[in-house]
Homo-oligomer: A and B are copies of this chain.
Amino acid sequence: MSNPPSHELVFLNHSKVQWLYTMEETAEMMNSNLKLNSRDRAVLMKTPFLNGLGSSSLVGMLSAMSVLSLASRTSIFREGEKPDAFYCVLSGYVRLYRLSHEGREADIQICGPGETFAECLLYGGDRYAHHAQAAENVTLARFDMQAVRDLADEQKDVARAVMTSLSRHLLNSMDCVANDRLFTAPQRVANYILARCPVDGGPASIRLPFQKSLLAGMLGLAPEALSRAFSTLRKTGVTVRGRAIQVVDVAALRDI
C-alpha cells in the first residue's frame, strides 16, 4: 500500500481515513500524542459526532481533536472556567457534577464510551457550567471548540452532527428530570435495568459497566439508597452479586 502525505487525506474516503490513522504519521495530523487502540477507535467513529461525516469533514474534525488518557479522579475541567474544548469519552466513565455552597456534590450526568460532553458550550454559555471528573481511568477525545465552530460554519454535515448530538443530550437530560420527579428509587433502578434488558418478558442477566456508586449518582441517589433499592427489588426477582444483575422475569419488573 502507498503512503500518501497527509495533506492528501482530505481526498480520501471514510474507510481509508479509518485505516490510515492507525499509522504513525497520522498522529501528527491529529495534533496529539495519541496511541488509539482499536476499541477506542471504533467507539470514536461510531459517535453521532463523527458518524455520518464526509471524509473532508471527518479529517477536519480529527485535526481539531487530540486524545488524552486520565487517571481516575482527575479533574477534566471545573465549573466557571473558560471553555476551550469539549470531549468525547472513548473508554471509561466521566462524571459531570456541581457543588453546593457547603460542598455537597450532585451528579448531573455520567458519560460513557461514545458520549460527548460540554458540547453545549459551542453555542451556549461562556463558562463551563459544571465540573467534569474522570470516574475511572478514561481515554478522551478532546475537540477544540473554536476549530469545531469554524468547521460547523463551513460544512453542513458537521453542523448536523452537532445538532444531532445536542438533540440527544437534551432529550436525555429532560428524561432525567422526568425520572427524578416521577419515580422512586426502586422504580428508577428498575427502569435502568429494563432499558438494558432484552425486550421480551423472560429472565435476563446484565452486568453493570461501572461501580454502583456511579449508578447511584446517575440516578440521583446516595449509594445507600441504591443499595436499599436493590434490596427492595429482590422481592420482584432481582438478584445482585457484585456487578452482575439477574432478573427472573423482565415483564414483572415493568409493573413496579
Q: Which residues of B contact A176 (CB under 8 A)?
A: 173, 177
Count residues of A near B (Cβ-Cβ below 8 Å). Answer: 41
The residue that A106 contacts in the complex, of B120, B124, B182, with Cβ under 8 A, is B182
Copies of this chain present in the complex amount to: 2
Q: Would B167 and A108 count as touching, CB distance under 8 A?
A: no
A100 and B173 in contact, given A106-B178, A156-B159, A159-B159 (Cβ under 8 angstroms): no
The residue that A163 contacts in the complex, of B104, B152, B220, with Cβ under 8 A, is B152
A71 close to chain B: CB less than 8 A: no
The proximity string for A residues 103-133 relative to B, scoring 1 for CB distances below 8 Å and 0 otherwise, is: 0101111000000000011111100011000
Near B by CB (< 8 A), chain A positions 144-199 give: 152-153, 156, 159-160, 162-164, 166-171, 173-178, 180-183
A98 close to chain B: CB less than 8 A: yes
**In the complex, what distance in Å separates the CA atom of A108 from the CA atom of B180?**
10
A210 CB → nearest B CB, Å: 19
A102 CB → nearest B CB, Å: 10
Q: Would B166 and A129 count as touching, CB distance under 8 A?
A: no
**In the complex, what distance in Å separates the CA atom of A131 from the CA atom of B152?**
32
The residue that A174 contacts in the complex, of B100, B104, B130, B181, with Cβ under 8 A, is B130
Q: Spell out A's residues near B (CB within 8 Å).
A: 96, 98, 100, 104, 106-109, 120-125, 129-130, 152-153, 156, 159-160, 162-164, 166-171, 173-178, 180-183, 220
Known interface pairs A108-B174, A109-B174, A159-B163; 11 further A-B residue pairs with C-beta atoms within 8 A, sorted by A's residue number: A98-B178, A100-B183, A104-B182, A122-B167, A123-B164, A124-B167, A156-B159, A163-B166, A173-B177, A177-B180, A181-B220
